[in-house]
Chain A
């Protein structure tokens, strides 16, 4: 009897030890950060995936640092000045900055970077958008350049604070192996790249010579953590479980439904920021029936309630969108929530007045042979699916319906460009309002990102003017008018702001989400307590 107890006890002990072996044993000062999606590449001149920046923000620094208040602080650049017409920018570099390969950051390197972005061979997808009417970079002295544009380019300020165009890549490394750079970047950031095991993890380690931290840093010298490992865990629940069991000690993109559960877990804490950009919006196709009718588009606005969407789709973890095409953290954001308050009667009345009536008794309104059925095209994402199902249920009582089609990103882009949708899902992160031109100017219908399929001369004119307006307050007014006009024309339906919700185990401290681009974590000041 006695020996049986001993045996059982030993077995139990072995089991516990096995469990211990199974769990990850962290090395000293190691942060394991769970990501939901794998980056595409780290050649930021070429790539465009937002997930690239999660890692790249720690490998590259930028010339300027943009604060939440819209102020540009010096970083890799000691000073930047622009001519009054915003056509010439003079950048004076900080001295003593070196890339991870030991080569210096000098005027030559800056010129090489800008020239490379606009070079057609680079096939730049996103960075090129920051370069405007770039002409050339003139080398003034070893640490000073003058960047020339043929048209005024006020958005260049923002570009200098963004990793894509404003985060210098090592020219030596790019010249040696440009393709290899995509998988093994060399920048001036606090961490140097170590390895990328596809579909598993990416590792970065501190750059020992680093001594030019970002303006809001809490210490000087090399970064604090011994190592940062980005683990790719796409499944939401798996990421949450990995965090609660201690398999990782930090995780990004906490699904909204898990926020409550994690808040009551004393081992972890949450950090949530509203991201700038469009927020989560539905783009309405203005050229396909029934949404080619302004009355239908406005009726949709009266029938949607961002507050209810926040509750139903996002369990209140993502806040209701009160604007139109810009989110609250964007400069020149306007609160337009009073324009189209939830009012189903008003929506029905608009449809009645425009001649949308149910003539064949199927419960769905029709007009000129077109049924008031909306084709929705979006990503298979649980939150947006819930929102659309909810919208569908809201619209049925007023005689409209929604057909849901969820596709992968390649197919979705083709369908949206072809205008197969009535409403399509769109979300984009950016701080600089001038970026709206890429999304809503009629020149980008068909091949670009404008899925409204509606050429509105007022919006076009404003977006063109914004691009070259050097006076920032005039620019702000123009952006306000764009937001107002697009909502009034029912070109978009705002739902919620995009929210970055991260969760960390208590021992991990000091991870900062970049104020402007909240999705990018800064690990420079981070540390693991008790190690």
Chain B
């Protein structure tokens, strides 16, 4: 109740006072701009091979050096942002959609449905998410799309659990009981009355979860189960550089740094959102 009556301007003001959140948002914004305008920003074609320029250290021409095939690392890292962001968004969308539906059904209908759905979620929750993603990739086969689905599946439990809890408490609210009393259909109650009120915690989890998803996606690619060569995917680039740690540190350093920066900015943003949106802080 309290939260719904809070004007969005107040939320924004609170957010702008959160330094970490603002920093995260700025970093994310620049990353998105870079990803969107990658063809304009990148100095070279990320796939253009030039064997005689292989393994050049960072210089004014190649800011992040070149890889084993003479491809410009900066351009590859820039194009990699597209893949990582897409991976984060797609897998979180999958997890969010399925998680919220499962959680709402379990929470709102209750009884047997709740028992069955939540036991399934408990089973999924029993596995560490990366193991779950690995299992999913083994079932689906390697590839970027499959990695997105796998990472998405592995994140479903957290959304489902939170949504169920929120629905259970929202169900007890007067406005829901009032809607039930006037005979509103269950679907209308769920989508019009309950859902808007439980979305805030899910946004926070989604922001934090995008970082986790990007990390998991990179991990899968690092293991050779996600993006396939010559895709400029950060995890894959990291893996390709690991045989050259002593010879050409820039091969692994820059993709690793990019992953770190992205995940860090999403974590900062997520923390900021949580502090602002968490009704308990109001």
Contact = CB atoms under 8 A, between A and B. Distances in A.
Contact of A386 (B48, B69, B245, B246): B69
A93 to B, nearest CB: 47
Interface string A236-247: 110011000000
A392 B243 contact: no
B20 interface: no
B224 interface: yes
**Main secondary structure on B side of the interface with A:** loop
A388 B51 contact: no
A247 to B, nearest CB: 16
Interface stretch (A402-410, A424-432, A466-474): A402-410
A261 B246 contact: yes
A130 to B, nearest CB: 34
Contact-residue size bin, chain A (C-beta under 8 Å from the other chain): 20 to 34
B51 A237 contact: no
B69 A393 contact: yes
Contacts of B247: 257-258, 261
Given A382-B240, A405-B142, A393 B246 contact: no
Nearest to B48: A393
Given A380-B224, A382-B240, A393-B47, A406 B246 contact: no
Interface residues of B, number: 21
B16 interface: no
B205 to A, nearest CB: 33
B245 A237 contact: yes
Which interface residue of A261, A394, A405 has the most chain B CB atoms within 10 A?
Answer: A405
Nearest to B143: A405
Nearest to A311: B51
Given A389-B229, A406-B228, A237 B54 contact: no
B142 A393 contact: no
B244 interface: yes
Contacts of A389: 49, 69, 229-230
Interface in B1-56: 47-49, 51, 54
B42 to A, nearest CB: 17
B246 A390 contact: no
Contacts of A385: 229, 240
A178 interface: no
16 contacts: A236-B243, A237-B243, A237-B246, A257-B68, A382-B240, A386-B68, A386-B69, A388-B229, A390-B49, A390-B51, A392-B230, A393-B49, A404-B230, A405-B143, A406-B142, A407-B142
Interface of A: 235-237, 240-241, 255, 257-258, 261, 308, 311-312, 380, 382, 385-386, 388-390, 392-394, 403-407, 411
Q: Which 10 A-B pairs have the closest CB atoms?
A: A393-B49, A380-B224, A389-B230, A312-B51, A404-B228, A404-B229, A385-B229, A236-B243, A389-B229, A382-B243
